[in-house]
Structure 1
Amino acid sequence: MSGRKIHQNGNNNIMHLETPKKTIQKSSQEVYDFLIDIKNFEQLMPENISKFELINEERFLFALKGMPEIVLQRKETIPTSKVVLGAASEKLPFTLTANIVALGANETEVILSFEGKFNAMMAMMIKNPITNFIGTLSDNLQKI
């Protein structure tokens, strides 16, 4: 994966991970519309998901086997170019951002990025699972 960065910030590190660019054979509007519809994230989840629950049109809860449940909510949208989801809990403050770039009428490039503030021990523990998780989301996004 490209773009692994960890910046020092007091007791917490800012961890930034991103997926390689993926090309999707859909318009940027179609990709954006898919991503702002929270229930569609169930289709993007890895096979090892143990729970997915729609809370409302802005929030969903999911859990991967062996990991705690996480609630994500839509935080920011910029039509046809960006969708930002963030953790609803302050215990694990992070965002998951989809940057959407139109390449043509039916071709769009998407990069998923994860950014969160974690202490060094937590960052070490979650780096590989999060890298794998966002990689799977990105791979599955290509199949929509």
Structure 2
Amino acid sequence: MFIETPKAQVTKSKEETFNFLNDLSNFRQLMPENIDKFEVLNENRFLFALKGMPEIVLEKKEQTPFDQLVLGAASEKLPFTLTADISEVGSEQSEVVLSFKGEFNAMMAMMIKSPITNFINTLSTNLGKI
């Protein structure tokens, strides 16, 4: 399953945007209003839970400074990645496209597609507000 958000316009340079996303504590600002729990476990991992959903631990998987940050599920039960691709628009403006990629059976994919789409769209919308 692959889901991609529209480009979010960020009024920060490409480097500032990357640094903002690379500091996992900043993801609290991007979370939906129905966040139930958010905790930074270490510099490479954070845990979050939305109301009525199980806790998910995300960890940094890969990074290309100022261009891309890849977060992935720490659990092998639900293997997925959340990738932020950052491009420069101007000296003080950048664009970010978030993409979700996971391998799920058809039943699971059908159940989670809508909530995941809403979740990453909220992250993207909130990223445009920073």
Query: Where do residues 26-105 of structure 1 align in structure 2 (5 Å cutoff)?
Result: 26-105=12-91
Distance in 2 between residues matched to 1:58 and 1:132, nearest whole Å: 24
TM-score normalised by the chain length of structure 2:
0.99
Distance in 1 between residues matched to 2:12 and 2:47, nearest whole Å: 27
1:113 to 76, 93, 99: 99
Does residue 23 of structure 1 match 2:3? no
Q: How many residue pairs were aligned?
A: 130
Shift of 1:107: 1.0
TM-score normalised by the chain length of structure 1:
0.89
Any idea what the Cα deviations from partners look like across 1:35-64, whole Å, max 9, x if unmatched?
000111111000001000111010000000
Distance in 2 between residues matched to 1:83 and 1:113, nearest whole Å: 11
Q: Unmatched 5+ residue regions in structure 2? A: none
Deviation above 3 Å: which 4+ runs of structure 1? none
Shift of 1:23: 1.1
Q: Unmatched 5+ residue regions in structure 1? A: 1-14
**RMSD between superposed Cα atoms in Å:** 0.5
Distance in 2 between residues matched to 1:43 and 1:25, nearest whole Å: 15
Distance in 1 between residues matched to 2:54 and 2:109, nearest whole Å: 15
% identical equivalent positions: 68
**Letter of the aligned partner of 1:80 in structure 2?**
F
